[in-house]
Amino acid sequence: MRMRTIEISVGGFVLAGALALVFLALQVSGVSRNQAEDSYIIKARFNDVAGLRVRSKVSMAGVTIGRVRAIDVDMQWGDATVTMDILGEPGNLTADTGAKILTEGILGARYISLLPGSDEETLGPGDEITETQGALILENLIGEFLTNLGDS
Amino acid sequence: MLGLLRTVGIRFLDWLSALGRATLLWVNTMTGLPRLKDVGLVIIQVYNVGFLSLIIIILSAFSIGAVLSLQFYTQLARFGAQEAVGVGLALVLLRELGPVVTGLLFAGRAGSALTAEIGLMKTTEQLSSMEMMGVDPLRRIIAPRIWAGLISLPILTAIFNMVAIYGGVVVAVNWLGADAGGFWSGMQEGVELWEDLGKGMLKSLVFAFLVTWVAVFQGYDAPPTAEGMSMATTQTVVISSVLILATDFLMTLVFYGDF
C-alpha cells in the first residue's frame, strides 16, 4: 500500500514537471506564435549599423515583418551587410524599397524599418536593398553640431 | 617555511586523492546500464528527494517571483515601462534564478539528507553487510539516488519557474495593476524556447549532477564518527553551493557571453 502511494506521488510529481515545462514553452516563450512561417532572405548595405543585433526586428509601418539573420562587415568598402528574413512569399516588397535603422523609444533597441516604394518589380530572394540610411550615432551628431557652432 | 610548503603539499595531495576517489565512485556507480528491476528503487528515491522537496520549492518560488516582480515594477514604473516587468521577470528566472535557487535549495534539502543517509549506512556497516550478501551497494544504494537527483532537479526547476512567474503575475498584474496583455506579450516576445528555457534546464541538469555527486561522495567517504558525519553533511551543502554558483557563472559566460 505504501509503495502505491509513493508511486502515485512520483507520478504526480513528474506530471507536474511536464505540465510546468509545457506552460513555460507555450505561455512564457510563446512557441506557438513564433512558428517558422514561410520566409525569404533579402540583404541591405548600411554605412553604419551600430546597435543593431542579430534577431532585431524588421518592420514596415510599425508592424514586424521579419528579423535580422546576420550582420557582416565588408572590409573592402567599409560598410555593413545585413541579411534579413522576411516573412511571406517573395514578391511582397517592391524593388525600390528603402531601409532605415531606427531606435524604439529613447533607450530602446535598434530595428530596421522598410519604406515601401512604387516600382512594379519586386525583390526576390537574396536581392539587395540599395536605398539605405544607417544608424544615427549620437556622438557624431554632437560632434557635427559642435563643429557647426564653431564655424558660425 | 619548509613546514608550510609541506602542509600545502599534503593538503593538495589529500584534495587530489579525494577528487580521484569521487570520480572513481561516480564512474563505478554509473557505468553499466541501469537494470529494469532497479526502477522501483529509483522511484522511491525520486519520492524522497523530489516529491518531498516540493513544498519548500513552491513556497520559495512564489516569494521570489513576487519580490522580483515588486522590485522590477517599482523601478520600471519610473520610466513608465511597467509592461517590461513580464519579460524581465521571465528572463531572470529562466536563465539564472530558477536553476540556481532550486539547485541551492535542493543541495540544502536533499543533498544533506543523502549524505547523512549514506554516511550512516556506512557507519553502521550496512553497506559492508550488503557486500557480504553479494549485493553491490554502489548499484543498489548509490546509483538510484544519483538517477533520482538527475530526474528530480530539472522537474523541480520547471515547477519553480512556473510558480515564480505566477507569483510575479499576482503581484504585478493582480495587485499593482500592470496591463496583463502587455505583460504576457512582452514576455512571449522576449523569451525564446531554446535560448532561455532550454539553456536554463541544461544548467539545472548540470547542477543536479554536481549536487548528487558531492552528496553521495561525502556520505560514502565520511569518517565513521559522529563528528565525521556532521562534517560531511556540512561539507555537502558548502561545496555544492559554491560549485553551483561558480559553474553557473561559467555556463552563463559560455551560453550568453557573445562579446
Segment B146-158, tens digit of pLDDT = 999 999 999 999 9
User: What mean pLDDT comes out for the span A120-134?
Assistant: 84
In angstroms, the separation between the Cα of residue A98 and the nearest Cα of chain B is 26
Higher-pLDDT residue of A47, B33: A47
Residue B236 lies in a domain: yes
Residue burial B228-247, b: 16+ Cβ < 10 Å; e: rest: ebeebbebbbebbbebbeeb
At B230, which helix (H) or strand (E)? helix B226-256
In angstroms, the separation between the Cα of residue A125 and the nearest Cα of chain B is 26
Q: How many CB atoms lie within 10 A of CB B252?
A: 15
Cell triple for B95: 536563465
Q: Is A3's Cβ below 8 Å from some Cβ in B?
A: yes
Residue B18 lies in a domain: no
B42 and B151 Cβ atoms separated by less than 8 Å: yes
Which residue of chain B has the CA closest to A8? B47
A98 and A117 Cβ atoms separated by less than 8 Å: yes
Q: Is A26's Cβ below 8 Å from some Cβ in B?
A: no
Q: What is the ipTM metric for this complex?
A: 0.86
Query: What residue has cell string 613546514?
Result: B3
pLDDT at A76 over 80: yes
Q: What is the pLDDT of residue B90?
A: 93
Q: What is the pLDDT of residue B171?
A: 93
d(C-alpha B175, C-alpha B166), whole Å? 12
Q: How many CB atoms lie within 10 A of CB A40?
A: 20
Q: Hey, are the CB atoms on B155 and A9 less than 8 Å from each other?
A: no
Segment B68-79, tens digit of pLDDT = 999 999 998 888
Q: What is the pLDDT of residue B23?
A: 93
B198 and B97 Cβ atoms separated by less than 8 Å: no
pLDDT at A35 over 70: no
Q: How many structural domains is chain B composed of? A: 1
Q: What is the pLDDT of residue B110?
A: 93
Residue B257 lies in a domain: no
Segment B108-167, tens digit of pLDDT = 999 999 999 999 999 899 988 998 998 888 888 899 999 999 999 999 999 999 999 999
Which residue of chain B has the CA closest to A31? B193
Which residue of chain A has the CA closest to B54? A13
Q: Which of B154, B159, B184 lies at the smallest CB-CB distance from A16?
A: B159
The pLDDT-based confidence of A57 (bands split at 50, 70, 90) is confident
**What is this structure's pTM?**
0.79
Short-list B204, B216, B13, CA closest to B101: B204
Q: What is the pLDDT of residue A1?
A: 58
In angstroms, the separation between the Cα of residue B126 and the nearest Cα of chain A is 22
Q: Hey, are the CB atoms on A33 and B40 less than 8 Å from each other?
A: no
A81 and A45 Cβ atoms separated by less than 8 Å: yes
Q: Hey, are the CB atoms on A20 and B159 less than 8 Å from each other?
A: yes
Residue B99, domain extent: 38-248
Residues of chain B with pLDDT under 70: 32-34, 258-259
Residue B231 lies in a domain: yes
> Chain A residues with CB inside 8 Å of B89's CB?
none
Environment class of A141 (CB within 10 Å of its CB; exposed 0-12, middle 13-18, buried 19+): exposed
Short-list B165, B140, B151, CA closest to B86: B165
Q: Is A15's Cβ below 8 Å from some Cβ in B?
A: no
A83 and A41 Cβ atoms separated by less than 8 Å: yes
Cβ within 8 Å of A, B 86-105: 90, 94
Segment A59-74, tens digit of pLDDT = 888 888 888 888 898 8
Q: Hey, are the CB atoms on A10 and B43 less than 8 Å from each other?
A: yes
pLDDT at A37 over 70: no
Q: Is A25's Cβ below 8 Å from some Cβ in B?
A: yes
d(C-alpha B48, C-alpha A10), whole Å? 9
d(C-alpha B149, C-alpha B144), whole Å? 9
Q: What is the pLDDT of residue B6?
A: 94
Q: Which of A12, A23, A29 lies at the smallest CB-CB distance from B188?
A: A29
Residue B259 lies in a domain: no
At A99, which helix (H) or strand (E)? strand A98-103
% of chain A exceeding 90 in pLDDT:
12
Higher-pLDDT residue of A137, B119: B119
Q: Is A23's Cβ below 8 Å from some Cβ in B?
A: yes
